[in-house]
Chain A
Amino acid sequence: MSDTPLISTDGLSVTFRINAGAFKKFDLKAVEGISIDIPKGSFFGIVGESGSGKTTLGRALLKAVDISEGTATYDDGEVEYDLKDLSKVDLFEYRKRAQLIFQDPYAALSPRMTVRDIIAEPLEVMGITKTRTDTDERVREIAAKCRLNLEHLRRFPHAFSGGQRQRISIARALVSGPKFIVADESVAALDVSIQADVLNLLKQIQSEMGLTFMFISHDLSVVAHTCDHVAVMYLGRIVESATTSELFAQPRHPYTKALFSAIPSLDPDDRGTAQKLEGEIPSPTNQPPGCKFHTRCPFAIDICKSTEPKLEKSPDGHAVSCHRWQELLDESAA
């Protein structure tokens, strides 16, 4: 890992303009004020419930949606891009370097294309390989990495199981030789027995090819096992961010703690001991004032309802945005 992060954002916001009738328009802030550094070669996890803005953040970094405010830069040592204002030519180049793996391997693959064509398509579209022999060679090489055999390449996606399809999606994302991969809920649609296999494959590919992953998931236990750094999002903001071991050893934000205790325990005698969170995530069109989490937080006091806490970073790199985290930490230690 070198010193300059691969992706660095400062105050990144994404706003969608919603048309609600002929003259009614309003802005929906899906992601607000995100400042993160994703180090080269890291497995960076983003966790949150649906509606927390984690997918939008991933898409903004891939330039699939526009960045409204703030800055985002990409620097892989060879090239440097300002992601907010990318020229058409640069965007074309950036697409080779940043790729997405989708959630649902059943929807992501065209049923009318053979696996070979699915994997080869990015090469042809991006003009990476010049001849058919080159393309085939590259496809075979990447397919082998993703544990697909030559026999598989001639078939159509319907002949494959969920785990195999996800491996095809991974091969397609990797074929252009990217440096940065956003994996958006890439194992959420898979059975547990297969999920472990795909996670192991992602880890193996990452270390072999020196890639940087942004791993978006709602499942803390999956993130715990794969990522080396985790950021927790709630209603478009990062509420806590730390290395995985630090976050899991000592979660500081009440929301992170609640996410942990909501994971169903495998111990049948450990029922109902968890501290449950009431209510649901508010709509991003109607955000509460102050701390966005105060409507569901069991520890909310008056200041939480009026003032939004800042993301405070301790010297050890553990950042949290909560008015009372220190106090709560001391309390639980006492």
Chain B
Amino acid sequence: MSLLDVENLTLQFRTDEGIITAVDNVSFSLEPGEVMGLVGESGSGKSVTAKSLMKLNPGNAIYSDDTKITLHLDSGPVDVMALRNAREMEVVRGGAVSMIFQEPMASFAPAISIGRQMVEQLLVHSDMNKKQAKDLSIEMLDRVGISDASTRFDQYAFELSGGMRQRAMIAMALSTKPKLLIADEPTTALDVTIQAQVIDLMKDLVTEFNMGIIFITHDLGVVAQTADKVAVMYLGRMVEQGPVREVIRHPHHPYTQGLIAALPKLDDLEAPLVPVPGDIPSPLERPPGCVFHTRCSKIIGDVCKTDVPQWVQTAENHRAACHLCEEGSGA
């Protein structure tokens, strides 16, 4: 049975300038122990999608009526949309679902020691006493490769280096033994050498804890190294979904193809860098039809400008939303 089912997630924000559609009809599911890479550029709605799973979006967010997010736990299914108050939401906020943010310095409270913050959340989400919570926190810090964990426990976020802080963040997120971990650009602020360490660590932990991970990133290299499957988002819509090998080797959507072409590659230094032309449009001026048609180099005619493309199955579990795609064949 799947761990998470998201169906028809549509989310709008009420703002002074009007209603902004941030996520448009997104559906996906995740198995336990599976890592899904969620890829797209800034403004594509990937963070907002992830935050919806914890109902972390601000008060001006409007979810559509047919939005359905179901989390299948041992204790039975949880309908995330039906959670109303903070007490009910504890289960998805740090309980069965944990989140790692991009900037660990901004995510830890600066004036409270790392240890106290770790203990605090354990006291909320489990029936441990302070002593047990402290022991577990130190054990987790040790587990993520922080040396001298009992000293680090009493230190503050500013006393740790960037890589160390992100490790502490991971230790904190995992100490409640979540079933689903959402990692929002967890390695973007880190140096490559430290990024490699953190990726390794996360891979080890998936196997050990058998949890599902949603890994948000704009770096397809990181996805290739971590994910089992990939979902590509553009301007609030999911445009391609499939197993990681399929999507990276045989991308069908022109946007995915563009993202791969834009990456500097080390095996051919002379190859020119091909940007995806133009900029992502403002969410206030969402193009009609296929949202990508304003930047697409493979536009096939008016149909792209008027009709929203439907999902086309191109291989097993691999699908793309593009008018170019036809069943079973590549674009």
Contact = CB atoms under 8 A, between A and B. Distances in A.
A161 B279 contact: yes
A264 B263 CA distance: 12
B225 to A, nearest CB: 5
B309 interface: no
B104 interface: no
Contacts of B258: 193
B249 to A, nearest CB: 8
Nearest to A197: B275
B20 interface: no
A272 B202 CA distance: 13
Given A264-B222, A266-B220, A266-B221, A199 B192 contact: no
B126 interface: no
A49 B191 contact: yes
B269 A245 contact: yes
B273 A225 contact: yes
Q: Which of A163, A194, A224 has the most CB of B within 10 A?
A: A194
A221 B224 contact: no
Contacts of B244: 268
Contact of B161 (A195, A272, A277, A280): A280
Interface stretch (A16-24, A67-75, A78-86, A255-263): A255-263
B250 to A, nearest CB: 12
A280 B191 CA distance: 10
A225 B264 contact: yes
Q: Which of A162, A225, A265 has the most CB of B within 10 A?
A: A225
Interface string B178-210: 000000000000011111110110010000000
A264 B41 contact: no
Given A196-B275, A263-B221, A224 B197 contact: no
Q: Which of B248, B259, B269 has the most CB of A within 10 A?
A: B269
Interface residues of A, number: 46
B266 A221 contact: yes
Interface string A238-260: 00000011001000000000111
A161 B225 CA distance: 29
A258 B244 CA distance: 26
B128 interface: no
Interface in A137-178: 161-164
A264 B199 contact: yes
A192 interface: yes
Contacts, number: 125
A222 interface: yes
B262 interface: yes
B215 to A, nearest CB: 12
A50 interface: yes
Contact of A191 (B193, B218, B224): B218
B260 interface: yes
B323 to A, nearest CB: 21
Given A222-B264, A248-B266, A263 B218 contact: no
Contacts of A196: 262, 264, 273-276
B263 A266 contact: yes
Contacts of A195: 262, 273, 275
A183 interface: no
Contacts of A267: 224, 248
A264 B219 contact: yes
B132 interface: no
A28 to B, nearest CB: 16
B191 A50 contact: yes
Contacts of B164: 280
Given A161-B279, A191-B42, A264 B221 contact: yes
A247 to B, nearest CB: 10
Contacts of A263: 192, 221, 266
Q: Which of B193, B244, B258, B266 has the most CB of A within 10 A?
A: B193
B212 interface: no
A280 B275 contact: no
A200 interface: yes
A316 interface: no
A269 B197 contact: no
Nearest to A192: B262
B266 A192 contact: no
Contacts of B259: 192-193
A270 B248 CA distance: 13
Nearest to A263: B192
B279 A276 contact: no
A199 B41 contact: no
7 contacts: A49-B193, A193-B258, A194-B276, A264-B219, A266-B220, A274-B196, A280-B194
Given A264-B219, A267-B224, 20 more contacts: A161-B280, A191-B42, A192-B41, A192-B218, A193-B258, A193-B259, A194-B275, A196-B274, A200-B273, A224-B269, A244-B269, A259-B193, A262-B192, A264-B199, A266-B263, A266-B265, A269-B245, A274-B196, A276-B196, A276-B200
What 7 pairs between A and B have smallest CB-CB spacing? A264-B221, A197-B275, A196-B273, A191-B41, A193-B276, A196-B275, A49-B191
